[in-house]
Structure 1
Amino acid sequence: MPNARAAFEACLKGLHSDNIEELQRSIQRSRSLRDLWHLRTWLYTEVARAYSQAEAELRLNRLNAHFQFGASFGFNGQTQVALAKSRSGEH
């Protein structure tokens, strides 16, 4: 868990807002890799808003090593993009 949390924190580099502070608190409160898995969409959304979709995908790819079980959830890159868009209100 500490390595996964550190990887999440690294993905937040350069981001500053109330949303980011709340995301950081959620990362620190997480109790399992599954908890962190569910925060990936939020992370993706914040990075995409601040930088670009390409940057968000690049940063999330760095997290993949911590989530070998992710494939069993059925989340692939396209699903991640769709979830982030729905969260941000895009269609």
Structure 2
Amino acid sequence: MRWMPGDPDPWFGKAPARPQRPSTQLAAARAQFQAALEGLAGERIEELTRSIHRSRSLRDLWHLRTWIYTEVARAFSQFEAERRLDVINVFLHTHAGMSLRAMNESATQH
């Protein structure tokens, strides 16, 4: 069994046949999410950062938005959390070509 599709075989240590390179959109989105954590530190932030780096798709990142909001609001303010999330939402909508409505609909279906 594998934890995630494409992970190396846990018993034989084989790597996937062809290593997959993250798309430039995913890399740019990760950078945007990481930028939203500016000025934050601590164990929870380190865990969130690991989750951002482990994300395999834009949808994975989409689901981390609430965690970012919570951590920023705790450290700074609700206003600052909303501001940073707005930046992420605009980025996803314009640069990653995502429809925020479609992402919201898919998130409510799961």
TM-score by length of structure 2 reads: 0.64
52, 68, 78: which one aligns with 1:27: 52
User: Post-superposition shift, 1:66?
Assistant: 1.2
Match of 1:43 in 2: 68
Read off the aligned partner of 1:61 and give its amino acid letter.
D
Match of 1:71 in 2: 101
Tell which structure's C-alpha radius of gyration is larger.
Answer: 2
User: Post-superposition shift, 1:69?
Assistant: 2.6
Read off the aligned partner of 1:66 and give its amino acid letter.
L
Runs of 4+ off more than 2 Å: 67-70
18, 27, 41: which one aligns with 1:16: 41
Q: How far apart in 1 are the matches of 2:60 and 2:40? A: 21
Q: Which consecutive unaligned segments of at least 5 residues does structure 1 have?
A: 75-91
Partner SS for 2:56:
coil
Aligned residue pairs: how many? 75
Cα RMSD of the aligned pairs, angstroms, is 1.5
Read off the aligned partner of 1:69 and give its amino acid letter.
S
Read off the aligned partner of 1:59 and give its amino acid letter.
R
Match of 2:6 in 1: none
User: Post-superposition shift, 1:71?
Assistant: 1.5
Read off the aligned partner of 2:70 and give its amino acid letter.
T
Tell me which protein shows more helix as a share of its residues: 1
Using the aligned pairs only, state the percent identity.
59
Q: How far apart in 1 are the matches of 2:57 and 2:79? A: 27
Q: How far apart in 1 are the matches of 2:58 and 2:77? A: 26
